[in-house]
Structure 1
């Protein structure tokens, strides 16, 4: 016999019990007893009621059904876990992207604030350049004092480092080979004219030009100094 369900055996058992009951009823001549046996057989099925040769098959069928049910439950549990893991991974990815976007936005805002600060410093330098009294000559200390008033405090040391290397704060320094001139050894020297016509005799005008140059070309005097250290020119 192929795979047989417990229900099928229950029916077979009930039939067998009914048949036995019928025989007993006929032998005793009692119709009531026959009906009682049939009712009992129809409502109750015991493994002992099933023929011995079929009991093993009943048990095998039952175990197979249990295994199938367990396999289905395991598949459902695995699917649920996979779906939960996917949802968790998607949530973590979304959070990471959001955090990265927020960091990028913050960095852009910081860069914009720094740019505005530098532009403001540059505008201040433009105003300050014309506020110094014109003299026939200037000492290094006087030139450095001008620069301190025109260059943002956090950028002054970098600014000073470049001037030290280029001209040692000599606003009339001339390179005999190239003709580069002034505090920043501008080449051609006429570049200073964009900051003022008195560039040859006024160190404040040269400072104004040098600060604008560093801000526009490198972003700040310290960025210009970093480039100078790597290349020995700027």
Structure 2
């Protein structure tokens, strides 16, 4: 009976050891199998992660390159705009300077032409000092006009005649009742013609000398005086 019990305890112990061994073995197998699966999964995950990691730097590099190109393009565009603006300003400045020079030259040319015209008018006119009339004789319109033609340049005659026509109708004794203006040119006061001769009231030659000198000195010529008269109805 005792012996039987011993055998039973050994059997039980052996079974336990065998069971433990089996369990260990199974666990090892399972563990190995499980470990293989885990390793495979880890490998796949690692490969996947490696792929993603390799992609990210490439993407960032592309973004950096794109950003760099964009910045370069923007910088070039800004530089081009600044250059274009500078060129436009320089062109405008040169044009303004050129226009100013052209305007000045035109003004100087016009002034030179005016002076030349005046000089030509004066040189074409005969010396009025040689014009002699009479303080005691009565002169007709024809005689007065013939007298004036002796000293007025031919190209100025029409203008000169127009002024006298409008001022006095060639009446060397004409008097403006309201102002007192006197003579062929309606000098106001008439006594200013005494600078040419004391016989200014009765001698048309004296009045013609004064009138021609007045037109030349104040306006440059009889035609310039006539232009002013037409614009203002006086001269």
TM-score tier (shorter): 0.5 to 0.7
Return the alpha-carbon distance in structure 1 between the equivalents of residues 205 and 110 of structure 2. Answer: 30
Partner of 1:202: 203
- The correspondence of residues 52-91 of structure 1 with structure 2, limited to 5 A, is 52-54=51-53, 55-91=55-91
What is the aligned partner in structure 2 of residue 174 from structure 1? 175
| Long gaps (5+) in structure 1 | 1-49
If the length of structure 1 is used for normalisation, what is the TM-score? 0.63
| Correspondence for 2:110 | 110
Task: Give the structure with higher Rg (CA).
Answer: 2
Mark the CA change 1:94 to 1:153 in structure 2 (over 3 Å): closer, same or farther.
Answer: farther
User: Does 2:152 correspond to 1:163?
Assistant: no
Aligned to 1:92: 92
Deviation at 1:117, TM superposition (A): 3.6
The alpha-carbon distance between structure 1 residues 119 and 172, as it changes in their structure 2 partners (threshold 3 A), is: farther
How do 1:1-234 and structure 2 match up within 5 A?
Answer: 51-54=50-53, 55-119=55-119, 121-122=121-122, 125=125, 127-134=126-133, 136-234=137-235
Offset from partner CA, 1:160-194 (integer Å, 9 cap, x none): 22211111011222334543221011122221122
Match of 1:24 in 2: none
Q: Is the 8 A contact 2:167 2:185 kept in 1?
A: yes
Tell me, what secondary structure is at the counterpart of 1:150?
coil
> Could you report, residue by residue, the CA deviation over 1:54-87 in whole angstroms, capped at 9, with x for unpaired residues?
2144223223322322321332243134213322
Map of 1:11 onto structure 2: none
Closer/same/farther in 2, CA of residues 162 and 137 from structure 1, 3 Å limit = same
Return closer, same or farther for 1:194/1:113 CA change in 2, 3 Å cut-off.
Answer: farther
For 1:204 and 1:95, the matched residues in 2 are separated by 56
Instruction: Give a deviation string over 1:131-188, Cα, whole Å, max 9, x none.
Output: 3453534332333334344334444333322211111011222334543221011122
Distance 1:98 1:149 in 2: 48
| Partner SS for 2:106 | helix
- Paired residues, what number? 184
Which residue does 1:18 correspond to in 2?
A: none
What secondary structure sits across from 1:151 in the alignment?
coil
Q: Please give the TM-score of this superposition, normalised by the length of structure 2.
A: 0.63
Unmatched runs of 5 consecutive residues or more in structure 2? 1-48
List, as ranges, runs of 4+ consecutive aligned residues in structure 1 with deviation greater than 6 Å: none
Q: What is the distance in 2 between the residues matched to 1:200 and 1:123?
A: 28
How far has the Cα of 1:217 moved from its partner? Answer: 3.2
Query: Which moved further from structure 2: 148-157 or 105-114?
Result: 148-157
Q: 1:210 to 1:133 in 2, by over 3 A?
A: closer
Question: Cα gap change, 1:132/1:223 in structure 2, threshold over 3 Å: closer, same or farther?
Answer: closer
Q: Distance in 1 between matches of 2:143 and 2:79?
A: 80
